[in-house]
Amino acid sequence: MARFSFRRTEGPQPERLIVSDPADAPAPAPPPPAKLNIESDAEERAAPAALAATDDMLDMRLKLHGRLIDEIDLSKLDKLDEAEMRRQVRRLVGDFARTERLALNAGELDELGASVFDEMVGLGPIEPLLKDDSIADILINGPFQVYVERRGELEMTPVRFRDNDHLLRIVNRIVATVGRRIDESSPMVDARLPDGSRVNAAIAPIAIDGAAVSIRKFSKKPYDLERLVGVGAMPACVAEFLHGVVRSRVSTVISGGTGSGKTTLLNALSAAIRHKERLITIEDAAELQLQQPHVVRMETRPPSIEGKGEIRQRELVKNALRMRPDRIILGEVRGEEAFDMLQAMNTGHEGSMATIHANTPRDAVTRLEQMVAMSGMRLPPESIRGQIASAVGLIVQVMRLSDGKRRLTSVTEITGMEGQVVQMQEIFAFHRLSTESDGTVVGEFRATGLRPKAMDEMLRRGIRYDAGNFDPGKPLG
């Protein structure tokens, strides 16, 4: 980010801001986000027309925005607080509009001033999207196509960047704040915004049509189990059981696809951990929102431009074992670190938690087995499965359904080994019954009738749970 300074011009002219860094020059002022709900082919065909209607206004704003940025010198502006900076920029926009005889009302002047400010110190055109709490994801497909996800559905917005260079400048601003880089030699990056939102970016040569950026927004109000019950992700009795299991230090793996709500559920379940326990979290890009006071957060590091200095999750897991953790929480297990995670769960760190990409609990076990094999340890398959069976107590499956809603679909317990097969029993399951005309999935949760082994540990720790919830055949509401 460029450095800022104010200076006065000669004569009676108003105080102006003058640009010292041409790299920070023109960028478009984004029009307010539109809600173009992509639900049908007809709406999809209508989207370009809706965008075209904004082109004249966008062209005018691009021209005005570029000239304003050309007149801004940003060498000492960072010494001012945000409110004062916004007032100065708003005043300069008003002066410029009067000089150019532009017919802009107060609202349009405020909007233009905000876009200039966002371009100088924020993330430019997408700054209003980041401030919109109804948006869960921001998906940028090159400079001229920006989608958002609201309530599980994608919508195109009229937000646009001036060109790919403008978009790249914003991407570099994001990754620089967390000490990472993105260029032709390293065209992919995982990063995070100051508020914790997760960012993935890919640029040329692997992104053909301009930089591709995905932002998973950080929830200002973290989901807890009560809130997940309120939105229908699971019944109250299932949430109560999961709370008891985590509190009883049963090691848990949360399985699901991309965007299914794994991290959200992990955050919610972590609330059951006692505040006296020491937790160590390990992630590629830190996004967990644990509420306990004694948390040590660690993050991987990519290699430098010389290809040195990389710190992988496996090294962090090994190091965490030397830090006297009560529990280790792995944001996502995806490779060789699975072996070290299982070792930790088997050597006095019960109650550790992790997420994994898999479509079913059985697939999660298979993936864990494959990841352990990636560690280079030449263990026979039955030995690996034995470690999984003794380390992991519960697999919780989550899924994003066809209507966009995220639900818990299975709670499955690992009960041990029989021969060379990991034995599992499902405790609760979500059954889809039908789909309504508007696409809403109708279903219900049911117990399978099996009493979990985890109940014994819950009872030993004085945690009460109504065993009647395990009765089969009745819907759980």
pLDDT given at position 310: 86
**pLDDT higher than 70, residue 75:** no
Shared domain for 205 and 255, answered yes or no, is: no
Decide which of 55 and 108 is more confident: 108
pLDDT given at position 258: 87
342 located within any domain = yes
φ/ψ (deg, to 5) at 122: -110, -145
Q: Counting beta carbons within 10 angstroms of the beta carbon of residue 382, is it exposed (0 to 12), middle (13 to 18) or buried (19 or more)?
A: exposed
Whole-angstrom CA distances from 235 to 121, 225, 280, 443 are 44, 10, 30, 12
**pLDDT higher than 80, residue 467:** yes
Decide which of 458 and 289 is more confident: 458
Decide which of 145 and 196 is more confident: 145
φ/ψ (deg, to 5) at 127: -60, -45
Shared domain for 274 and 205, answered yes or no, is: no
pLDDT given at position 443: 92
Shared domain for 174 and 274, answered yes or no, is: no
Q: Counting beta carbons within 10 angstroms of the beta carbon of residue 368, is it exposed (0 to 12), middle (13 to 18) or buried (19 or more)?
A: buried
1 located within any domain = no
Shared domain for 194 and 238, answered yes or no, is: no
CATH code for position 170:
3.30.450.90
CATH code for position 230:
3.40.50.300
Rounded to the nearest 5 degrees, what angle is found at the Cα of 15, between the Cα atoms of 12 and 17? 140
User: Per-residue pLDDT tens for 288-336?
Assistant: 888 889 999 998 888 877 778 889 999 999 999 999 999 999 989 988 8
pLDDT level of residue 365 (50, 70, 90 thresholds): very high
Q: How many residues does the chain have?
A: 477
Whole-angstrom CA distances from 333 to 108, 160, 242, 440 are 48, 36, 21, 32
311 located within any domain = yes
Task: Calculate mean pLDDT across residues 394-413.
Answer: 94
Domain count, the chain: 2
Shared domain for 426 and 402, answered yes or no, is: yes
Whole-angstrom CA distances from 221 to 133, 267, 309, 347 are 10, 11, 35, 35
pLDDT level of residue 69 (50, 70, 90 thresholds): low
359 located within any domain = yes
Shared domain for 49 and 193, answered yes or no, is: yes
Chain position carrying tokens 């006095």: 348
Whether 61 contacts 31, CB under 8 Å: yes
pLDDT given at position 218: 77
Task: Calculate mean pLDDT across residues 153-162.
Answer: 88
Instruction: Please list, in sequence order, all residues whose beta carbon lies within 8 angstroms of the beta carbon of residue 305, skipping any fewer than 6 positions away.
Output: 181, 185, 186
Shared domain for 347 and 462, answered yes or no, is: yes
**pLDDT higher than 70, residue 237:** yes
pLDDT given at position 353: 95
Shared domain for 41 and 183, answered yes or no, is: yes
Give the range of the structural domain holding residue 57, as residue numbers without chain letter: 6-216
User: Per-residue pLDDT tens for 189-235?
Assistant: 888 888 888 899 999 999 999 999 999 987 777 778 999 999 999 99
Task: Select the highest-mean-pLDDT range: 20-29, 89-98, 399-408.
Answer: 399-408
Shared domain for 241 and 176, answered yes or no, is: no
Shared domain for 178 and 94, answered yes or no, is: yes
Shared domain for 350 and 394, answered yes or no, is: yes
Shared domain for 305 and 396, answered yes or no, is: yes
User: Per-residue pLDDT tens for 6-62?
Assistant: 333 444 444 433 333 434 444 444 444 444 343 444 444 344 433 333 444 445 555
Whole-angstrom CA distances from 14 to 64, 84, 98 are 18, 16, 12
- Give the end of a domain, one of 197, 216, 235: 216
